[in-house]
């Protein structure tokens, strides 16, 4: 049996590698009870080395702040490109889809090359500008208060229009994926609008690069079990992906 210092080192190493650790997995690997692991996590949290949640732990930096879209576009560029390409393969003739706001779904919009007719509903001004020049795509721009950091509309006008729609698919980007807390974004108004999008869609597809796992934003969008599919890159933490698949959620790695 390893001593406390050895256990703590292993826990932090696993957390740095995967971005997420489960009490059950650590208990099995280290050969100690789950009670002991919880005590270890509590001690590490008191030293501000991690953040505890029910049955798991994530990095101490798990809480994320809002950043301008122009800044976020420069992060994980290749990963977002591959995710956008994979998402574009899911489109079908006469699809009615919702594309939310964010840089990953913006990459998806750039990759839409279908020549078949589809309808796109979006709050994102940038997505609309990309798609409005493609003659086979009908674009419905949601209106409301402009959220400048994401160049997208939020508020009751956009929410009201979504209550009158039913779409095949929702392609949504997030700021955080936490297995206990769910999907989050850094803005509460955007999170609220995303909830309306989920209710208006038959299938919810999350486009998120690996840096989003184990993170939490200020506004909760939904629980993880409300998602049908996640498209992410191969650097996503294997332990988290295993849990997600066990919940019956399809995971596509690019």
Task: For residue 182, count other CB atoms closer than 10 A to its CB.
Answer: 18
Per-10-residue mean pLDDT for the chain, 254 residues long? 85 79 88 91 84 73 58 76 97 97 94 94 96 94 91 95 96 92 92 97 97 87 97 92 95 97
| 12: enclosing H helix or E strand | helix 4-18
Return the pLDDT at 49.
Answer: 80
CB-side neighbour CA atoms (13 Å) of 17: 9
E-only strand ranges, the chain: 21-22, 51-53, 56-58, 96-99, 118-122, 137-141, 145-147, 152-154, 167-173, 176-178, 182-185, 201-207, 219-222, 229-232, 250-253
Q: Contact at 8 Å (CB) between 162 and 200? A: yes
Q: What is the pTM of this model?
A: 0.78
Closest CA to 199 of 160, 247, 154, 173: 160
Determine the Cα–Cα distance for residues 108 and 83; give it in Å rounded to an integer. 7
Return the pLDDT at 92.
Answer: 95
Q: Contact at 8 Å (CB) between 168 and 201? A: yes
Annotation: CATH topology of 69-253: Rossmann fold (3.40.50)
Return the pLDDT at 75.
Answer: 67
Per the listing, tokens 């849990």 go with: 243
Return the pLDDT at 229.
Answer: 98
Domain boundaries, the chain: 4-58, 69-253
Annotation: CATH topology of 4-58: Arc Repressor Mutant, subunit A (1.10.10)
Determine the Cα–Cα distance for residues 245 and 254; give it in Å rounded to an integer. 16
Return the pLDDT at 82.
Answer: 97
Provide CB contacts within 8 A for 61, sequence distance 6+.
none
Determine the Cα–Cα distance for residues 217 and 66; give it in Å rounded to an integer. 8
The C-alpha torsion from 110 through 113 and 118 to 124, rounded to 10°, is 0
């Amino acid at each position: 049996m390893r001593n406390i210092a050895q256990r703590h080192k292993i826990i932090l190493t696993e957390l740095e590698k995967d971005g997420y650790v489960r009490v059950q997995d650590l208990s099995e690997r280290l050969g100690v009870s789950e009670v002991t692991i919880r005590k270890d996590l509590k001690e590490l949290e008191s030293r501000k080395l991690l953040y505890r949640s029910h049955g798991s732990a994530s990095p101490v930096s798990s809480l994320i702040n809002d950043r301008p879209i122009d800044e976020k576009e420069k992060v994980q560029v290749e990963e977002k490109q591959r995710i956008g390409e994979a998402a574009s393969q899911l489109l079908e003739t006469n699809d009615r889809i919702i594309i939310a706001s964010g840089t990953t779904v913006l990459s998806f919009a750039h990759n839409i090359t279908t020549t078949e007719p589809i309808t796109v509903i979006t709050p994102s001004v940038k997505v609309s500008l990309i798609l409005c020049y493609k003659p086979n795509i009908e674009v419905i721009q949601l209106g409301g208060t402009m959220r400048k950091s994401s160049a997208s509309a939020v508020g009751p006008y956009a929410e009201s229009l979504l209550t009158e729609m039913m779409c095949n698919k929702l392609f949504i980007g997030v700021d955080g994926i936490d297995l206990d807390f769910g999907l989050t974004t850094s803005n509460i108004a955007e999170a609220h609008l995303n909830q309306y999008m989920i209710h208006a869609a038959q299938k919810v597809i999350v486009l998120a690069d690996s840096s989003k796992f184990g993170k939490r934003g200020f506004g909760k969008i939904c629980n993880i079990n409300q998602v049908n599919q996640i498209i992410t890159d191969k650097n996503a933490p294997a332990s988290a992906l295993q849990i997600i698949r066990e919940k019956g959620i399809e995971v596509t790695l690019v």
